[in-house]
Chains A and B, each alone.
Chain A
C-alpha cells in the first residue's frame, strides 16, 4: 500500500504542472489546448486518486504518511522544539475528499471548456482552476493542521480570484464582481482568524500539529482492524514513505529527521485519546491552568469559527450567495462541491476533538441545522437562478455540519459526496441555462450573426438584460432537453426523493438526529431533527419553484423562446453527474437494505478505518417515509402554487398574491435582512470607527496636532533659534567680523606696495642697515661704553 500511497504528491503535482504549463504557454496554445491540458491534469490526478483508493482497499486499509523528499524539514526550529514537517496523509478520509475534488473537478474542467468559450481570459481561468485543485488537494492531504491551513488559505485565494474573475465588466458589473470577491475574502479572514487561534492553542497544548504520528494507528484501527493491518513488508519500505507498522521505528528514525529519537510522540488526536483515558490532564497557559476538556472545547470553538467562514454557516455565510458573481463552473466547483466542504472535512478530521467537546458538538449541530433552515427559507424568495442554488448550498452545508455536530461523521461525509454530485450538476445545469438564454437573447435580437464567436457574458456590457433572472426564463424544457432532464434529476436528488442519492444521505443525517434526540435524549438532537425536517421541506419547495420558473410553462421572453441547447462539452458532464446523482446512494446504503444483495454501509465502513468515531447510522423506516412525504408534499405544494403560472400577471411571485404569504416572501426575498444587519452593526460602526480614526485621530490629532504643531512647530522654533541668534548672530557674525578686520588691515597694508622700485630698494636698504645695526650692536656698545 505504501508504494501506492507514495503517489500522493502526484495528485498535487499534476494540477500544478497543468497550472504552470498554462501559465507560461497558455496564451499560445489556443482554447482547445489550454482546456485539454487543464482537464488532463485534473483527470490524471483523479486517476492517481483512484489507483490509491483501489490500493487502499486491496492492501488492508493502512493509513500512510508520506514525506515528500523536498519538504521534510518544512518548519524546523530545534531550539524551540518546533518541528512541523510537510507530510501527506493518505487515509480513507483524505482519499474520499481527493476522489470528490478531482473527480467532480475534472468534469467541471471539461464543462468549463465549453462554458468559457470565447472569453478573452480563457487561459487565466484554467490556471486558476488548476491552482484551486492544487490547494484543495493540499488541504485534504495534509497530515497536520498547518499544511491543511496552507491549503485552506490557498483555496480562499483562488476563490477570491475566481469570484472577481470578471472584474473588468462595464456598467458597474465588474465593480459588483470585485466587491463580491472582496466580501468573500474578508469574511473568510474572520473565519481564518478562528482557525489560526485553534492551531495556536493546539500547538501549545500538544506540542505538535500532526494529526497522527507516522507510525501511529488511530485508536479504532488499532483495536478493530489490527487483524487486517498486516505488517507491511519491511523491504518495500523505501523512499520517503513511512508505513504505520510496529517494529519499524528504527528504520523510520533515519528517514524521519523531523521526529526526535526516542519513543515517537503521538499526533494531536492520539495524545488527546491517551490523556482523556488518564483523566485529570491539565494544560498550563502561563499562570492559568485549564483542564484538557476545556482547552479542547476552546480549540473546537475557534475551529468552528473557521468552519462557519469556509463552509458558509451562520454567522459568516453571507459571502457565499455573493460569490455567485464568479463564472458558473467556479460556483459549481468551488462554491458548491469542494471548497465549501473544507469546513466539514476539518470537523470530520477533528472528530476526536469534537467527541471530547460535547458542548461544541451541540453548538455545531445547532448552528448547522439553523443555517439549513434559514438558508432554505431565503432560497424560496430569490429570483436569480444561481442565488437559489447558492442558498441551497448554504442550507445543505448546514445539513452536513449538523450531521457532524451530532456525531454522524460518516453521514456528513456521505452527504458531502452526494451533494457534490447533485449540486455540481445543478450549478452546471444552471450555467447551461444561463448560457442558452444569453445566446437565445442574441439570436432573438440579432446583435451578432456569429453569436458563437463571442462569449455571451461579454454582452452584459451592452444590455441590462439579466440572463440569470428566472423571470426571464420559462418553457426551457423543450428548448434544452438534456439540460432539463439532468436538472430534473438533480432537483429530485437534492429534494431527497427515493431512490436518488440525496434521499439516502439526507435520511442518514435525519436518522442520526433522531437517534441523538430520542435514544440519547439530547436536546440538540430534537432541535436538529425538527429544523432539518422543515429545511428538507423548504428544499423541495424552492427547487420545484425553480423548475417551474425555468423549465415549465411558456417562455416569458424571446431569449428563452430561442435559447439553444448547450454543446456536448457541457452536456456530457451534466449527464455523467446526473448518473452519479442517481446511483450515489449506493455508496452508503443503510444496513436495512441488505436484502437488495448490494453492499451496505460502504462509505461508513471505509471511513471507519481512519475516522475514529465514524459509525453507521440507524435506518428508521418511519422517519425516512416522513421525510419522503414532506419532500413530496412540498413538491406538490410548489406545483400547486407555481404549476399553472409561475408568475402573476404583474410578473410577481405567486406567493405575493396573498396577504399571508406576501410578508414571508418579502422576508425571504430580502434575505432576512442579513446584509442590512451586517451593514448596520458591523459595516457602519466599522466605517464610523475608521472615519473617526482617519479624520480625528490620524488627521486632526496625529497629523495636524502632533506632527504639524508639536513636531514641525518645535522643529521650526528650534531651527529658527539655531539659525538666527546662534548661527547668524554669533557664528556667522563672528566670522564676518574677522573677515572684515582682515580686509581692513590688508587694505592698509596694501599701501606699502607702491610699485615704485626705488621705494623697495630704500626699504631693503633700511632693513639692511637695521640688521647691520643689530649685528654690530655689541661692537657699537663697546665703542660707546669705553
Chain B
C-alpha cells in the first residue's frame, strides 16, 4: 500500500539511522555521564522515529503505540538515571565515567 504522504519512508529510515549512529558514537566517545545519557535518549528517539516512520508507511497504529510506551519508559528511565548520576556525584564528586571503574576485574 502506497504511503499517503510525499515523503518516502527511506528518508525516515536514513534519518533514524543517522541519529542512532550519532547516539552510539556519543555513548562511546563522551565521558561525561550526562552527555552519555543524552546520547542514549538520542538513540531511543532514533528508534522512535523509525517506528513512527514505518507506522506511517503502513498505516498501522501499532508502531505509534509502541512509541508512546517508549516515551513513557524513557521518562521513567531518565528519572532513575538522573537520580543515579546525582548519587554518584555525591559520593565521587565527579560524573566522569572513566573515573568510575570499580568493577574492573
Contacts and interface: CB of A to CB of B under 8 A. Distances in A.
A761 B27 contact: yes
B28 A755 contact: no
B103 A753 contact: yes
Q: Of residues A749, A753, A761, which shows the largest number of chain B Cβ atoms within 10 Å of its Cβ?
A: A761
Contacts of A755: 100-105
Q: Of residues B24, B29, B105, which shows the largest number of chain A Cβ atoms within 10 Å of its Cβ?
A: B105
B82 interface: no
A694 interface: no
Interface string B27-67: 11101000010000000000000000000000000000000
Nearest to B98: A756
B97 A757 contact: yes
Contacts of A750: 105
Contacts of A758: 27-29, 31, 97-98
Contacts of A756: 97-98, 101, 104
A132 B41 CA distance: 112
A762 interface: yes
Contacts of A751: 105
A754 B28 contact: no
Given A756-B97, A756-B98, A761 B105 contact: no
Interface in A737-764: 749-758, 761-762
Nearest to A765: B24
A736 B98 CA distance: 38
Nearest to A753: B105
A753 B28 contact: no
Contacts of B27: 758, 761
B101 to A, nearest CB: 3
A752 B104 CA distance: 8
Contacts of A757: 36, 97, 100
A750 B105 CA distance: 5
A603 to B, nearest CB: 114
A607 B104 CA distance: 115
Contacts of B100: 755, 757
A754 B98 contact: no
A758 B31 CA distance: 8
Contacts of B36: 757
Contacts of A752: 105
A602 to B, nearest CB: 118
Nearest to B30: A758
A758 B27 CA distance: 7
Contacts of A761: 27-28
Contacts of B31: 758
B23 to A, nearest CB: 11
Contacts of B24: 765
A633 to B, nearest CB: 125
Interface string B67-105: 000000000000000000000000000000110111111
Interface in B5-38: 24, 27-29, 31, 36
A761 B100 CA distance: 14
A123 B36 CA distance: 105
A755 to B, nearest CB: 3
Contacts of B98: 756, 758
A782 B62 CA distance: 30
A705 to B, nearest CB: 63
6 contacts: A750-B105, A754-B105, A757-B100, A758-B29, A758-B97, A761-B27
Enumerate the 5 nearest inter-chain pairs by beta-carbon distance, A residue then B residue, closest first: A753-B105, A755-B101, A755-B104, A750-B105, A755-B103
Interface of B: 24, 27-29, 31, 36, 97-98, 100-105
Given A755-B102, A757-B100, 13 more contacts: A751-B105, A753-B104, A753-B105, A754-B101, A754-B104, A754-B105, A755-B104, A756-B98, A756-B101, A757-B36, A757-B97, A758-B29, A765-B24
